[in-house]
Every structure is written in structure tokens, then in C-alpha cells.
Structure 1
Amino acid sequence: MTAVTDEGPGQVRGQVAGQGPGPERGRNPDEGSAPREGLPKDRGRPGRDWDDGLIARRAVSGAAPQEAPAAVPDDDVRPQVEAYVPSGSPLSPRLDALRELVGLSRARLDRTDLAEAGRVLDEAAARQRLSSRHTVVAIAGASGSGKSTLFNTLAGAQISEAGLRRPTTAAPIACSWTDGAAGLLDRLAIPGRLRRRPQQSGTGGDEALQGLVLVDLPDHDSAAAGHREQVDRVLALVDAVVWVVDPEKYADAALHERYLRPLAGHAEVTFVVLNQIDRLPGEAADQVLDDLRRLLDEDGMALGEHGEPGATVLSLSALTGDGVGELRELLGRFVQERTAATRRLSADVDAAAARLRPVYVAEGWPGLGERAREEFADRLAEAVGAAAAGQAAERAWRRNAGRACGTPWLRLWRWYESTRQPRGLDRTVFAAPPEEQLTARQRVEQAVRTVADDAADGLPGPWAQAVREAAVRGAQGLPEALDKLAARAGAEPGRDTDTDSDNGEPAEAAETAEPGGRTGAHRGRAAGRPPRPAWWPAAVLAQVAMTLLQIFGGLWLIGQIIGVLEPGLLTPALVMLAGIIGGPLVEWSCAAAARGPARRYGQEAERRLREAAAGCGRARVLDPVAAELVRYREVRERYVAVTEFSTTRG
């Protein structure tokens, strides 16, 4: 069944980690030969010896031989009937969801991760084309368990060879109670010479088993590797399986670890039969059966007791026929329900979904929250120096206010200072040192790594890698794009000004240089000339009036000194003093009034640069990352649809 073959026949899908398809852990040293005499060991549970004398030795040989096999023709080839998946079954949407899941995941997951899901889809498509009137049940067991004897007893004829020679069954043998199962047997690769009919088929007896296709498998612990490969191959294709165990090796680790434990999810299509109870005296059969149930429970296999769905466990003796009628009745009801194939495939889908769980189910709630987006924008703003640009814009506003509202003598002094600087220095744009440029690039890369880690936190490995790769691809060229967008955003309010157009003053490139990788000259140049408020003309007029008062008072005093005007120093001195004091007072008042607008202008410049950086980072990094997260949520929804009806059987 599903425990078999991930890669191909002979490899066990549910094997213990690190354990290959070679010799199984806990194998009896006498496997592949006739069971030894004496009390058995609980091979699957070390340290637990069955030495209480309750388990009897193997019955002595000499039982009555089985009657000769009936001469019956091979199975007829009949047209196959409708698909076995009912239209209203929850299996259909699960298969559709699994198919969509595989299609959406091919670009993100390795082919090995999707191999089992692809196999389930292929087997579903193959089984869907075949008969729904037939239920294929395999009889499997270890050497000496009596599975071939049970097969012959159910068929009512000596079809499968049974005896002391080991291994006895070398190839799968099929017995079909009705016609039309040829396609199913072709799928199992059972040749026509190994297809039989039960003894009752000629007379139409045993109506309860109509539709049953019983397959006797080679020993799963056979010394011949080819036999084990055939067991694994057929178990992956049948609708149900009857595991036949005997009192000596029912606890064998090879059975539990290689088959029963990995097939725990297939409990509803599993029968576990304790054979040879005729060898157990008194109440020993019940005690062994209870211990078998305990081992199955430890394997994680649900038991179908008290009306609950699960595996059917019973005891019988194929040699004496004790309990065979109960098994025949259970198989009859099981076959007439015609749901075994759907249940089997539902369990296969469950197993495939469980295997895919680590690559689809995230821990926590991964994604890009508002906090992560804001922190990313803050880091980009820091990398481009948005705060420093805002401070430079605020200083430019206040400096421009001082130039417009300052006294003429101060402006004249600034002009004189500018004439003393070397020609062309006022328009020089200083480039950032290489180490500062490197620092800015490192800050951008760190911001991208941080937001990618935040978005990928908790995601399964393949999807977390896809998110990080999307962020890295978007980060290529991000520092250069940030520079361009920041310059464009800063230049929008006004024209570029590297110097003071009024007096040729340099734009203080050196004082605004920041370690973010770009100099303040670039930021100040991008900020543009601040706009002038409406009250500035009045302030200029007031400053002109104060200047005129100074000039008028000065001329008046000069006229009195040279005798052109009548003497009277007090009045012209007061006029001149009013102009001298009023000029700085107007300048100070303008500076005080400019603080609020300057601060707002700086904040606006910082906001503009921050938004430009955030928009660039969003388009190049956050949007691709968000697209990968949306893709993951889409496949996660498909995965949930696959597992939604995992407890429902069609």
C-alpha cells in the first residue's frame, strides 16, 4: 500500500529515517526458512520474552491434504465499468486540489518533494479508469504465517501452493469471484497463467464475495529480494490488504516498522488476522490477540472497535477453518460496500499531504505587517539621509530669510567674503567619499535583508528561500534608484541652488555632510530654493526704511558738521540711532517669524524624501516579496483543501 515505493518497486516509503531498503532491523535469523521450534521472542520490543509457556509450539505436520485445485479458466476480459470515485465524494475535490497544488508548486519545490503526490495522482487516474464493481484485496504475511493456506480456504480450492518449503509463493496469484477484473490484474502485472477462479464460481455460490479479487503475495520477509520487491509493488496498487500473522512472529520488527507503522493511516482498508490459533492452548489466543492490538496501537493504527472506523483484527485457523467464516462475512460486507478503492486512495492522499506538510505549513503567521513595512521605510530613509536633508532644508529657509531681511551692511560683508574665495568654488558639488558611499549601500542591503527575514520568518524552507531571492533581486540597483528618486523629489518645490544667487554664497556643503553615503551638498542642492512667504516684502520694506533712516540721519549730521545746516545734533542722532537699532531688530523679528515655516519646510522636505525612498523600496522589494507571500497563501489554501476532508471517506 502507500508504505511502498517512493522511487520505485522494492523501496519502502515509510521506512525509518536512515534505514535503507536493505536488511530490516529486528529480523529473525531464521527468516526465509521454516519457523523454528520453541517459544518466540518479541523481536519488535527488545527485552520482552514470551517464556510463560502460554504459546504452543507449531502443530505437528500430517494434517489432511487440501483437495486438488479446480480446473478453471483464466479470467475473462470484459469491458470495464464506471469510475470508482462517486460524483459526490469528497475525494474528487481533494484530488483536484492536490493536482492544483502540484502545479502551483513545481517552480518552488524540488521534484523529489512532489514525487509522492504525483504518484498518488497517477494511481488515482489509473484506478479511475478501471472497474468499480471489483475490490482488490491482497493477502500478505511472513514466511510460515499460513497466508497461502488462508487464500486457498477462502477460494475453496488448492490454488496457491502451501507447504514447509520456504519461500513457497514466488509470484502473486489472483483469484477473481466475478468477470471483468482483467484490467485490474493487468495493472498489478499478474500474468494470465496466475489468474484463477474460486471453486464456487461455476455454480454462482458465495454471493457475498461477488466482486472480490483476492491476491496471494510472496512472503514479505523472503530471502529472495525479488519477492520483497513484488510485495512492495503490489501493495502500492491494491484496494485493501489482509495481513496474516502467526503466534511466533506477530511482533516482528520487520513487519511493524516496514509496513504496519507506515500504513497506520490506511487502517480502514486493513485487516490483521492472527492465524494458527489452533496451536495456542486455553486462553492464550485471546492474550496474544490482545498483545497484537497493543502493538498495532503503538504503531498508531486505529482499531475498528465499538463502531469506530479502523483496522479489523481477528483470530482464526486457516487449517481447521475456525474463524474463517467470520473473515469471509467481513470481507463480503467490505466488498459489497464498494468503497475500498476510494478509502484506499483517500488514505494515500492523507499520506502524501502528511509528507508535504513541512513544505506547506508555516509556524506562526508569516507575512509583511505594517510594522515591518514602516521599519523598512525608516531604514531606507536613514540610508538616503532624509533627516539630514530635512535639517538642511530648514537651515536653507532660515538662511534665505536672513539674506532677504538682513541689513545691507551684513549683505555687503557676505559679498566681500565671497569675493575672497577662489573662483568656481561656490559652484563646486562635493562628491561623497567612497567609504561613505559604501556605508549607504551597506545600509540599504541591511534593510533589504532585515525585511526579507521578517517576511520569511516561520515560512517553510522553499518558500522562505523564494521570498529572500525575490528581495535580493529587487535590491539590485536600489541604491542608485534611491539617489535618483530622492534628487527628483527634492527638486520639485523649486529650482536647484548650489549657491546664494544674491551674493554668491556657497551652499554650506561641508556642514551637511553625513555618514550615510551622500554629502549634504547633494541633499541641499536637491532641496531647491525655499519659497518666500507673503510677509517678506513688508519685512524688506521695513529694512529699507531702517536703512534710509540711517542714511538720512548720517547726512543730517554731516551737514551740521560742515555748517550747511543749523546745529542740533540730538535730532539727527536720534534718527540715525533709530535706523541703526531698527535694522537688526527687523532682522531678529524676521528670524523669529521664520522658525516655524522653516521647521515645516524641513519636515516637508524630509517627508518627501522619505516617501520617495519608501516608494522605491516598495516597488522594488516589498511588492515582489508580497507577491511571493500571496503565492504561498494560494498554495497553502490548496493544501488545506487537500487535507480538509482527511477524516472523511467517500
Structure 2
Amino acid sequence: MSVGTTQARQGLGGRLAALARIVELGPGRVEPALLAESGRLLLRAGERLKLSSDHTVVALAGGTGSGKSTLFNSISGLELSPTGVRRPTTARTHACVWGLDGAGPLLDWLQIQWRHRFARASALDRGEGRLNGLILLDLPDHDSIRALTDTEADRLIQVADLVVWVLDPQKYADASTHRRYVTDLAGHEAVTIFVLNQSDRLDEDELAECVADLDGLLRREGVEHPVIVTTSAITGSGVGELTSVLAETVSERRAAVQRLEADLDRLTLRLAKAVPADGDPAPSSSLDDARRIGLTDALCDAVGVPAVGEAMENVYAARSAEWVGWPYGRWIAGLRPDPLNSLRLGDLRDEIRGLTGGSVSAQPAEVDTAVQALADGLTSGMHEAWQNGIRDAARSRVAQLPQVLSEELSEVAPRLDRVPGWWRLLLVWQYLLVVLFLAGLVWVGVALAYGVFGLGTPPEALEFFADVTSLPWVGLMMFSVLGLGALTALASRNFVVLGAGNERDALEREMRRRVGGVAESMVIEPVERELTRYNEFYSAMRSLRG
């Protein structure tokens, strides 16, 4: 095998590997019929490349009466394929082999019956050692009325390394031949030869006119550079020229690879047309931070994270008044209508838990909109099949997403009945100040009763408190207690507000973290897998184009 042939086979191997990857990644994105055809080509290519590379399979194909069997016998130099005068037809494929070594498995793969295999074993016979490695097939007539032979001709035309179309001057423009075979093999010029047989029936001018007409017809049907040889199996005219063309093809040992490459080229064009890559450049397989953050923000809005944080902050601040506020202020406020009742804050904890754990926690419509917006932003410029794939991946778990978000956030729903330890200490401190103020009132009362109004002699235990001179100091103490209580309440209130803000920030961060985790596992990861599939598919397409 020549260096050029080895390199060609290696290049073909890379393209076939790319096609295999396309078949693997294509379901749902490429038409099933096209994928099935690709699979058949892969199977055929794998089988052919494992068989003899020293043999070239050349199929003589033609309609009834074209003279291909006579031409087959003329090339082989033997009467191997039966011919006839009245409606001659070839019922079974006949094969003539130049060089039997290694040809057996290839003939078995071609399904050529043993009794129809013939060998030209002598390389010196008629000087035709130049054809060593040729397997020449005389196919059944493709327009035969026998369906069996028609099917066999179709099969072998698809697997032959080189196809020689034998046409006669009367039916060379036959519509069925061109429609079923020639048009389908456009682009296969390197492995297709057209023979205008029975040239002995025409004079020189008529023959030239037929050749020109056939050339124009083939070019119109997509065969850009048709190779046309004129022959006459009866007179032998042109048979030597055709034999030389076959000998050159056999000697190069490249027809099998060229045929598979031509089939790949045709299939590549169909694949590129079916699923074109309109997007340029290709999207990254990983979502950027902006899209991740955008999706998390949208899902946080859908689940009401800001509302939960705000409610927690408000309730936290409102409940703190029961613990760190100046008791006298609370008692006075108690004489007015309770604002907490008007705000329905008494059961807000249950409502907030409902917000993160119930059916209304994450609005399905808003969740759906957020996921759809992500998919739409990623699929701009993609082929419709891949757009649908990305959308389907993004929405693959959208039905479960609201419930999962609710369950996640219910675990971090704020405990609105939680009482920080420093609140309890402040409550003790405030009530100590209340006791001191009440003690001052008692002191003042005793001093006024016994020292000012002279109600009698105070008991020995109260003599100290009945001293009128202590009243200014007691009053100062009581005023200080009131001021200290009010100042403590004010300072505590500021700390509570600051703490509530910090608590809200911490809560929202944790909720965003959890929402982001759910979005990652249920939306982003499926989308990134589909983007990876998209990029691998078009990377394989580029490799397939070579």
C-alpha cells in the first residue's frame, strides 16, 4: 500500500470517527432517516476497510440490451457472463477476479455466489498483469422485470469501489437510470465512469454528437467532470482504452477509499443542510457568571426571597419592643390600639413558613418565565432543532422546581419566636430600673407622709426614709432611672434595628445560596450538558468536512 493511500485511509478514518460521533449525538436533532443512512455508511465503511485493500471492486451496471455482459466478457477475455439476442438479461452477478489471494472474504461480503466467481490467475495471460487486484462485476440489469435482480443491482452499486455505467446510443438518456442512479451519485466523478457502448452502430459524426449530448446531460445533473469512454464490444473499439482506465484505477489502490470519501462528502452536505450551524462563534459549554446570577435573581423574585427578608426584619424589630423597650412606654402604648394586630404580625411566622413551604411559595409562572428567559438568551442563532434541545434541557425539571425551591427555603425560614440572649438581659435590666423607680416612689411617699404631713412617728425601719432632706436626692435618682431606662431603650432599639438588618442580609444570602444551588442542579447542569452536546456535534461536523 502506497504512502498516499495510507494517509488517505487515515484521513478517512478520522472522518468516519466524526460521523460516528454525529450519529451518537444526533438523535432528536437530526432526521432519523439521515441518521439511519449515516449508520449504514459507517457499517459499510467499517466492513470494506477491514477487507482486502489490494483489490478494487469495479461494477459494470447498465440496462437491458446495453451490452454490458458482452463488454464484461470482452474485458475478461472469456465467455463468463451469458448474453442473448432476444431480451438479454443478467439474472445473477458474475465476478471475474485478477489475483485470488485475499479476494475470498471480499467476494463473500459482496455475496457473489461461488458458481459465478471466475479467476484470471495468470499474470502473463494476455499481458494483463496490470489488472492484478481487479474484481470485475457484471451486475444484473437494473431495469429488469425481475425484482430480485433489480434489488441485487441496487445493493452492489452502493458498495462497489468503482461503478462503470454502460449506456447504449438509443437509451443513454433513459430517465429511470438518471433519476435512480446518476443523480444520486453526483460528486462521485472519481469513482464513476460512463461508457457509451455499441459505438459501431453510429458513424463518426453521430458518435461525437451522442457523446456531447451525454456530457451535457450529465453535467446538468450534477456530474461536474464526467469521464466518458466509447466502446464497441463487438468490434473491440475502445475496450483497450477502458481496460487502461481500469488498470490505472487498480494500480493506485485508492478507489475503495475514494468511493467512501465521495459517499461521506454527499452525506456531509446533507447533514450541513439539515442542521446548519448558524451561530458564530459557538456558545461556551459553561454558562457565564452573568447568566447564573440573572437566573438566581429571577428565581429569588419568583420565590419571594426579598419579601421574606423584609417580613423577618419588620417582625424582628416589632417583637423586640416587648423585650428591650422601656416598660412604661409599652404600658402606655397598650392603652392605644395594638398596631401589631392591625398588621397581623401575630401569625406572621406561620405565613412566612407558608411562603417558603407551601404551594404559593414559588410562583410556577414566574419560575417558568425565568427558565425560559435563560434558554432564549442562549439559543440565539442556533438551528431550531438545537434551540428546542436547549429549551427542553432547561425545562426538563421545571415542573418540580417550585416545590424543590419551597422545600429548600423552608429549612431556613426565620424563627420569629426566637429571643436572643441579650434581649433577656436587657429585659432584666429594664425591670430592675422599674423596681428602682417604684422604690423611689415609695421613698417619696414615706417622706411626705411622715416628714411633711406629720402622720405620726415612723417605725424604726422607716426612720431613714422619712427624712425630708433626702427628697431631692430621691427625685434625682428617680429622674435618672427614667432617663437611663429611656436611653437604654433607645440604644437597644438601634442595636435591634442594626441586628435585624444583619439578620435579613444573612437570611437572604443563605436563601440565595440555596436558590443558586437548586438552579445549578435542576436548570444549569442540564443546559450545560446540552451545550456540550451542541459543541461536540459541530466539532464532529467540522472534522467530517475534513
3-state SS of paired residue (1:429): helix
Q: Is the 8 A contact 1:239 1:344 kept in 2?
A: yes
Q: How far apart in 2 are the matches of 1:358 and 1:259? A: 21
Query: Given the superposition, is the C-alpha separation of residues 573 and 226 from structure 1 closer, same or farther in structure 2, using an over 3 Å criterion?
Result: same
Query: Given the superposition, is the C-alpha separation of residues 284 and 583 from structure 1 closer, same or farther in structure 2, using an over 3 Å criterion?
Result: farther
Alignment correspondent of 2:220: 298
Q: Is the 8 A contact 2:192 2:227 kept in 1?
A: yes
3-state SS of paired residue (1:249): coil
Alignment correspondent of 2:86: 165
Alignment correspondent of 2:66: 145
3-state SS of paired residue (1:205): helix
Q: Is the 8 A contact 1:171 1:217 kept in 2?
A: yes
Q: Is the 8 A contact 2:325 2:493 kept in 1?
A: no
Alignment correspondent of 2:39: 118
Alignment correspondent of 1:132: 53
1:338 aligns with 2:259: no
Alpha-carbon shift at residue 258 of structure 1 (Å):
1.5
Alignment correspondent of 2:15: 94
Alignment correspondent of 1:71: none
- Aligned with residue 526 of structure 2, among 617, 624, 638: 624
Mapping for residues 64-83 of structure 1, pairs under 5 Å: none
Mapping for residues 156-555 of structure 1, pairs under 5 Å: 156-162=77-83, 164-180=85-101, 181-197=103-119, 203-279=125-201, 283=205, 285-303=207-225, 311-354=226-269, 356-357=271-272, 362-364=277-279, 365=282, 369-370=287-288, 371-396=290-315, 398-399=317-318, 406-414=325-333, 429-430=350-351, 437=360, 440-451=363-374, 470-475=393-398, 477-491=400-414, 496-498=415-417
Give the letter aligned to residue 240 of structure 1: L
Q: Is the 8 A contact 1:156 1:199 kept in 2?
A: no
Alpha-carbon shift at residue 144 of structure 1 (Å):
3.5
Give the letter aligned to residue 149 of structure 2: H
Q: How far apart in 1 are the matches of 2:381 and 2:149? A: 45
Query: Given the superposition, is the C-alpha separation of residues 363 and 107 from structure 1 closer, same or farther in structure 2, using an over 3 Å criterion?
Result: closer
Give the letter aligned to residue 153 of structure 2: V
Deviations 1:308-358, CA, capped at 9 Å, x for gaps:
xxx533444444444333322221111101111122223334445555557
Q: How far apart in 1 are the matches of 2:132 and 2:240? A: 16
Query: Given the superposition, is the C-alpha separation of residues 420 and 225 from structure 1 closer, same or farther in structure 2, using an over 3 Å criterion?
Result: closer
Query: Given the superposition, is the C-alpha separation of residues 439 and 427 from structure 1 closer, same or farther in structure 2, using an over 3 Å criterion?
Result: closer
Deviations 1:586-624, CA, capped at 9 Å, x for gaps:
978987898777656544433332222121121233223
Mapping for residues 26-41 of structure 1, pairs under 5 Å: none
Which structure has greater helix proportion?
A: 2
Q: How far apart in 1 are the matches of 2:42 and 2:148? A: 26
Q: Is the 8 A contact 1:474 1:620 kept in 2?
A: yes
Alpha-carbon shift at residue 133 of structure 1 (Å):
2.3
Alpha-carbon shift at residue 542 of structure 1 (Å):
12
Q: How far apart in 1 are the matches of 2:498 and 2:207? A: 96
Query: Given the superposition, is the C-alpha separation of residues 312 and 543 from structure 1 closer, same or farther in structure 2, using an over 3 Å criterion?
Result: farther
Q: How far apart in 1 are the matches of 2:165 and 2:448? A: 132
Deviates more, 1:616-625 or 1:458-467: 458-467
Deviates more, 1:540-549 or 1:137-146: 540-549
Alpha-carbon shift at residue 149 of structure 1 (Å):
3.5
Q: Is the 8 A contact 1:397 1:601 kept in 2?
A: no
Q: How far apart in 2 are the matches of 1:117 and 1:85? A: 24
Q: Is the 8 A contact 2:58 2:137 kept in 1?
A: yes
Give the letter aligned to residue 223 of structure 1: I
Deviations 1:503-525, CA, capped at 9 Å, x for gaps:
xxxxxxxxxxxxxxxxxxxxxxx
Give the letter aligned to residue 62 of structure 2: G
Query: Given the superposition, is the C-alpha separation of residues 320 and 553 from structure 1 closer, same or farther in structure 2, using an over 3 Å criterion?
Result: farther
Q: How far apart in 1 are the matches of 2:147 and 2:256? A: 28
Alpha-carbon shift at residue 167 of structure 1 (Å):
4.5
Query: Given the superposition, is the C-alpha separation of residues 282 and 558 from structure 1 closer, same or farther in structure 2, using an over 3 Å criterion?
Result: farther
Alpha-carbon shift at residue 381 of structure 1 (Å):
0.7
Q: How far apart in 2 are the matches of 1:182 and 1:405? A: 100
Deviations 1:440-484, CA, capped at 9 Å, x for gaps:
234334444554565566667776666556555534543233223
Query: Given the superposition, is the C-alpha separation of residues 597 and 429 from structure 1 closer, same or farther in structure 2, using an over 3 Å criterion?
Result: closer
Query: Given the superposition, is the C-alpha separation of residues 325 and 594 from structure 1 closer, same or farther in structure 2, using an over 3 Å criterion?
Result: same
Q: Is the 8 A contact 2:72 2:81 kept in 1?
A: yes
Q: How far apart in 1 are the matches of 2:438 and 2:483? A: 9
Deviates more, 1:250-259 or 1:353-362: 353-362
Deviations 1:17-56, CA, capped at 9 Å, x for gaps:
xxxxxxxxxxxxxxxxxxxxxxxxxxxxxxxxxxxxxxxx
Deviations 1:279-320, CA, capped at 9 Å, x for gaps:
5555554454344334333333342xxxxxxx5334444444
Q: How far apart in 1 are the matches of 2:220 and 2:422? A: 84
Query: Given the superposition, is the C-alpha separation of residues 435 and 403 from structure 1 closer, same or farther in structure 2, using an over 3 Å criterion?
Result: closer
Q: Gaps (5+ residues) in structure 2?
A: 454-466, 469-473
Q: Is the 8 A contact 1:550 1:579 kept in 2?
A: no
Alpha-carbon shift at residue 137 of structure 1 (Å):
0.4
3-state SS of paired residue (1:444): helix
Query: Given the superposition, is the C-alpha separation of residues 155 and 394 from structure 1 closer, same or farther in structure 2, using an over 3 Å criterion?
Result: same
- RMSD of the TM alignment (CA)? 5.0
Identity of aligned residues (%): 34
Q: How far apart in 1 are the matches of 2:105 and 2:137? A: 14
3-state SS of paired residue (2:159): coil
Normalised by the length of structure 1, the TM-score is 0.63
Q: Is the 8 A contact 1:138 1:217 kept in 2?
A: yes
Q: How far apart in 2 are the matches of 1:85 and 1:446? A: 57
Q: Is the 8 A contact 1:407 1:583 kept in 2?
A: yes
Q: Is the 8 A contact 1:441 1:479 kept in 2?
A: yes
Deviates more, 1:585-594 or 1:199-208: 585-594
Give the letter aligned to residue 488 of structure 1: E
Query: Given the superposition, is the C-alpha separation of residues 98 and 159 from structure 1 closer, same or farther in structure 2, using an over 3 Å criterion?
Result: same
1:610 aligns with 2:512: yes
Q: Is the 8 A contact 1:139 1:216 kept in 2?
A: yes
Deviates more, 1:335-344 or 1:237-246: 237-246
Give the letter aligned to residue 250 of structure 2: V
Q: How far apart in 1 are the matches of 2:86 and 2:140? A: 13
Q: Gaps (5+ residues) in structure 1?
A: 1-80, 304-310, 499-527, 567-571, 646-650
Q: How far apart in 2 are the matches of 1:597 and 1:587? A: 15
Larger radius of gyration: 2
